[in-house]
């Protein structure tokens, strides 16, 4: 327990995170206790393995991709600290009408989803990238040709400039009718 | 002596032989004709919802019947015909074409309204009517339990009326599913409260011990869960049977209808909620049946279901009109006015209280406008009327007055609220919905978002909707689908479904454009 106390959240840190992400102090503290319970090594940061120890996450077909998105910001770094952790979660805060926040806007939410596909960070979803995701989601029981034709069809449908890729703009357009604000938000408990 | 022989007649008339089926046929014919009539008068159906016009036609027919036959003819809307033949098709249609995802996403709110909301309405309306009765305003004796019996049947929002009105105005999907879901699920509460107060009335107020109250509470869970479980079991059964129909495609639709109907009756045998049973039977079977049956059977099922439900609905409203004319009425102005008043006031109050509670737990906050439409959408209908007919006048001497009042409330909600809701939705600028099929992109990206959200819930250790859905899907794919589906394909049947639908549409389009090449 003595070890734990050194990891307690300081007031100014809470204020900083609150400023940056828009969470309330209660939510921050709640998430912090979750963070520390995930942090097996008690070192104040999480590794990929810490995430993947969550049993449901390990069997989520996209689990690894999602975990990776926590590590994108800092490039080579393979541990996330609490602030980075919170910055990622902030994307999923519900959009409040009169409170502008740059992290949880509709565009940021879409950007997050887009990055799940875009492995090589070239701001384009190629057929291969789409196929990789389809493979994970649909599973093995389906023939390769069928998956390929699904991927091709999806690209043709969204592709406006005929370059056989889906750009972020095209991606947003394809999801125009989807209530992204609703779909990619989560109610954070207080 | 020579036997008197009747010579063989060239023609003979024996109406009595065909009387019942003939009259039934005639009723359906009249109702359908009336429906065609309204669509040929677009001005009329723009102002009035169809249900109003149908009731009106019913009243006219009723007046004519009374003058022509001049005798007490049998009223066509009896509780048995209603509950056994007219209600099930409507509910099955609703359950089968229920947007599952939406329904389960808002299940919490729906249940809050259906269960707590209906109990709240029953108790407040009953108590208020009784309290006013103490002043002697009605100039008749109104015992407490009779009032509760009445309020239990009048406070339930009616699925038939809600569907009839909401299908026409097309409000946004969340609003629709909340009001409509409430009307479906509150049946369990209505059934329990109704039977509860019925037997309490028979027992008499002074003989009720607290054990009866506990039994009432317990029976609620039995009725609701029992109905649901029976429905789910029959639904899974239907999935299993259709697994083997690939050689006899023509009988595929039969299984869907018969097994759903059996689920309904099965629940009714044990006095469980038939409405819940058939709703959940529809919801469950759709998941599995669709993958097993042929494309043509699917079309048959869809259209037969739509036809049955819309004709049942038509007939119910017309019969409601007819029944108004031909029954004995005991009109009690104060009682009628106060019932309508209390029904409306407590509906609004209930919506305000329960949306405030629900909003604490909801991502999508129910706005003022939505609250208004929700309270305005609390329509009462034929279920209340059929239930009031079931009360025996020997036990409850006030039954005729209750019946008149019920009809008045139904008229008020169907006519006044039904007619004004359309312009109100326009004035208040309620978001209206557009029906659409998802595109390939939407299907795939939305599915991806689901996975992301499920993962997020797991990371945060919150077990929300996505987490539960994820669990169910995994269970379904592992333990249910392999046994119920003929050829189980992959984990994402919806993506494949969308793909094959779109591919089919393209092929049809291609054929149409290049007809000469074939």
Instruction: Map tokens 């093995």 to a residue.
Output: A140
Of B472 and B3, more confident: B472
pLDDT at A8: 67
- Residue of A183, A185, A188, A190 to mutate, testing the B interface (most B Cβ within 10 Å of its Cβ): A183
Helix, strand or coil, per DSSP, at residue A81 = strand
For residue B435, the chain A residue with the least C-alpha distance is A177
* Chain A partners within 8 Å of B470 (Cβ): 56, 60
Q: Flag whether pLDDT at A4 surpasses 60.
A: no
Q: Flag whether pLDDT at B269 surpasses 90.
A: yes
* Chain A partners within 8 Å of B440 (Cβ): 150, 153-154, 157
Q: Where are the CATH 1.10.238.10 domain residues in chain A?
A: 9-92, 105-183
CA atoms within 13 A on the CB side of B304: 14
Confidence of residue B274 (pLDDT cuts 50, 70, 90): very high
Tell me the mean pLDDT in the region B220-226. 91
Confidence of residue B257 (pLDDT cuts 50, 70, 90): very high
Q: What is the pLDDT of residues B456-474, one digit of tens each?
A: 888 888 888 888 888 898 8
Tell me the mean pLDDT in the region B18-24. 85
CA–CA separation, B472 and B111 (whole Å): 20
Q: What one-character DSSP code corresponds to residue B357?
A: H
pTM of the model: 0.87
pLDDT at B424: 87
pLDDT above 90 coverage of chain B, percent: 30
Helix, strand or coil, per DSSP, at residue A179 = coil
For residue A38, the chain B residue with the least C-alpha distance is B459
* Chain B partners within 8 Å of A138 (Cβ): 490-492, 495-496
Pairing of strands A80-81, A45-46: antiparallel
pLDDT at A2: 38
Instruction: Specify burial of residue A108 (Cβ count, 10 A radius: 0-12, 13-18, 19+).
Output: middle
Contact assessment for residue A113 and residue B445, using Cβ atoms and an 8 Å cutoff: yes
Tell me the mean pLDDT in the region A177-181. 84
Tell me the mean pLDDT in the region B53-71. 81
Q: What is the pLDDT of residues A20-31, one digit of tens each?
A: 888 888 888 888
Of B320 and B436, more confident: B320
Helix, strand or coil, per DSSP, at residue B4 = coil
Q: Flag whether pLDDT at A179 surpasses 50.
A: yes
Q: Flag whether pLDDT at A3 surpasses 60.
A: no
pLDDT at A158: 87
Contact assessment for residue B67 and residue B182, using Cβ atoms and an 8 Å cutoff: no
Tell me the mean pLDDT in the region B170-199. 86
CA–CA separation, A52 and B233 (whole Å): 37
Could A153 and B489 be called an inter-chain contact, meaning their C-beta atoms sit closer than 8 Å? no
CA–CA separation, B84 and B183 (whole Å): 19
Most confident region among B63-67, B104-108, B484-488 by mean pLDDT:
B104-108
Confidence of residue B113 (pLDDT cuts 50, 70, 90): very high
pLDDT at B158: 86
CA distance A66 to chain B (A): 7
Contact assessment for residue A185 and residue A95, using Cβ atoms and an 8 Å cutoff: yes
Confidence of residue B238 (pLDDT cuts 50, 70, 90): very high
Q: What is the pLDDT of residues B26-59, one digit of tens each?
A: 888 988 898 888 888 888 877 888 888 888 888 8
Contact assessment for residue B151 and residue B121, using Cβ atoms and an 8 Å cutoff: yes
Q: Flag whether pLDDT at B239 surpasses 50.
A: yes
CA distance A102 to chain B (A): 19
Instruction: Report the mean per-residue pLDDT for chain B.
Output: 87
Q: Which CATH architecture group holds A105-183? A: Orthogonal Bundle (1.10)
Q: Flag whether pLDDT at B362 surpasses 80.
A: yes
**DSSP run (H or E) holding A167:** strand A166-167
CA–CA separation, B280 and B278 (whole Å): 5
Could B436 and A188 be called an inter-chain contact, meaning their C-beta atoms sit closer than 8 Å? no
Fold of A9-92: Recoverin; domain 1 (1.10.238)
In sequence order, what are the residues at sequence separation of 6 or more whose Cβ sits closer than 8 angstroms to the Cβ of residue B328? B400
pLDDT at B74: 55
* Chain A partners within 8 Å of B449 (Cβ): 113, 180, 183-184
Q: What is the pLDDT of residues B379-430, one digit of tens each?
A: 888 889 889 988 888 888 888 899 999 999 999 998 998 888 888 888 888 8
Contact assessment for residue A81 and residue A45, using Cβ atoms and an 8 Å cutoff: yes
Of A155 and B42, more confident: A155
Confidence of residue A144 (pLDDT cuts 50, 70, 90): confident
pLDDT above 70 coverage of chain B, percent: 96
Of B425 and B120, more confident: B120
pLDDT at B207: 80
Query: How many residues appear in chain B?
Result: 518
Segment among A10-14, B24-28, B217-221, B473-477 with least mean pLDDT: A10-14
pLDDT at B263: 97
Pairing of strands A166-167, A124-125: antiparallel
Confidence of residue B347 (pLDDT cuts 50, 70, 90): very high
Could A150 and B440 be called an inter-chain contact, meaning their C-beta atoms sit closer than 8 Å? yes
CA distance B291 to chain A (A): 15
For residue A66, the chain B residue with the least C-alpha distance is B452
* Chain B partners within 8 Å of A149 (Cβ): 499
**DSSP run (H or E) holding B388:** helix B382-390
Confidence of residue A5 (pLDDT cuts 50, 70, 90): very low
Confidence of residue B313 (pLDDT cuts 50, 70, 90): confident
Q: Flag whether pLDDT at B302 surpasses 70.
A: yes
Q: Extract the tokens encoding B359.
A: 């909003």
């Amino acid at each position: 327990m003595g070890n734990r106390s050194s990891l307690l959240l300081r007031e100014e840190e809470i204020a900083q995170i609150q400023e940056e992400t828009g969470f309330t102090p209660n939510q921050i503290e709640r998430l912090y206790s979750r963070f520390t319970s995930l942090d097996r090594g008690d070192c104040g940061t999480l590794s990929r393995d810490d995430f993947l120890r969550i049993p449901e996450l390990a069997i989520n077909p996209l689990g690894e991709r999602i975990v990776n998105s926590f590590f994108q910001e800092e490039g080579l770094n393979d541990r996330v600290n609490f602030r980075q952790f919170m910055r990622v979660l902030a994307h999923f805060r519900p959009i409040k009408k009169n409170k502008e926040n740059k992290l949880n806007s509709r565009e940021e939410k879409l950007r997050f989803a887009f990055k799940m596909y875009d492995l090589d960070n070239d701001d384009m979803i190629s057929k291969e990238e789409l196929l990789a995701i389809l493979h994970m989601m649909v599973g093995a029981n389906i023939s390769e040709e069928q998956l390929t034709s699904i991927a091709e069809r999806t690209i043709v449908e969204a592709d406006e400039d005929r370059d056989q890729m889906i750009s972020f703009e095209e991606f947003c357009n394809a999801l125009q009718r989807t209530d992204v604000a609703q779909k990619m938000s989560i109610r954070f408990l207080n | 002596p020579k036997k008197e022989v009747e010579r063989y007649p060239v023609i003979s008339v024996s109406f009595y032989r065909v009387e019942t089926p003939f009259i039934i046929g005639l009723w359906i014919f009249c109702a359908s004709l009336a429906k065609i009539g309204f669509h040929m008068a677009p001005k009329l159906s723009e102002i009035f919802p169809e249900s109003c016009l149908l009731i009106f036609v019913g009243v006219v027919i009723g007046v004519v019947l009374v003058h022509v036959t001049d005798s007490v003819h049998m009223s066509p809307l009896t509780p048995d015909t209603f509950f056994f033949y007219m209600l099930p098709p409507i509910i099955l249609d609703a359950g089968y074409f229920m947007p599952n995802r939406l329904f389960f996403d808002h299940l919490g709110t729906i249940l809050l309204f259906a269960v707590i909301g209906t109990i709240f309405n029953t108790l407040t309306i009953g108590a208020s009517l009784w309290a006013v009765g103490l002043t002697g305003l009605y100039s008749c004796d109104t015992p407490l339990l009779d009032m509760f019996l009445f309020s239990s049947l009048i406070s339930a929002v009616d699925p038939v009326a809600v569907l009839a009105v909401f299908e026409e105005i097309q409000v946004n999907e969340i609003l629709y599913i909340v009001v409509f879901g409430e009307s479906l699920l509150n049946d369990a509460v209505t059934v329990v409260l109704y039977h509860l107060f019925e037997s309490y009335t028979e027992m008499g107020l002074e003989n009720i011990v607290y054990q009866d109250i506990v039994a009432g509470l317990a029976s609620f869970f039995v009725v609701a869960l029992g109905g649901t479980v029976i429905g789910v079991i029959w639904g899974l059964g239907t999935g299993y049977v259709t697994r083997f129909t690939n050689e006899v495609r023509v009988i595929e639709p039969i299984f869907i209808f018969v097994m759903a109907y059996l689920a309904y009756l099965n629940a009714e045998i044990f006095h469980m909620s038939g409405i819940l049973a058939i709703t959940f039977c529809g919801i469950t079977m759709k998941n599995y049946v669709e993958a097993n049956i042929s494309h043509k059977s699917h079309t048959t099922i869809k259209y037969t279901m739509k036809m049955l439900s819309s004709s049942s609905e038509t007939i119910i409203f017309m019969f409601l009109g007819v029944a108004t004319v031909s029954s004995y009425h005991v009109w009690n102005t104060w009682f009628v006015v106060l019932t309508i008043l209390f029904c409306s006031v407590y509906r609004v109050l209930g919506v305000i209280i329960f949306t405030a509670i629900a909003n604490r737990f909801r991502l999508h906050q129910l706005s003022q406008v939505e609250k208004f439409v929700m309270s305005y959408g609390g329509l009462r209908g034929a279920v209340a009327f059929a239930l009031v007919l079931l009360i025996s006048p020997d036990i409850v001497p006030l039954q005729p007055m209750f019946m008149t009042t019920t009809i008045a409330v139904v008229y008020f909600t169907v006519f006044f609220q039904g007619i004004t809701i359309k312009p109100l939705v326009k004035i208040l600028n309620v978001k209206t919905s557009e029906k659409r099929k998802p595109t390939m992109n939407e299907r795939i990206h939305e599915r991806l978002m689901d996975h992301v959200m499920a993962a997020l819930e797991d990371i945060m250790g919150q077990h929300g909707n996505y987490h539960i859905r994820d669990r169910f899907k995994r269970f379904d794919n592992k333990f249910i689908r392999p046994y119920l589906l003929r050829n189980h394909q992959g984990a994402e049947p919806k993506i494949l479904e969308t793909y094959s639908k779109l591919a089919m549409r393209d092929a049809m389009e291609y054929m149409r454009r290049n007809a000469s090449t074939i």
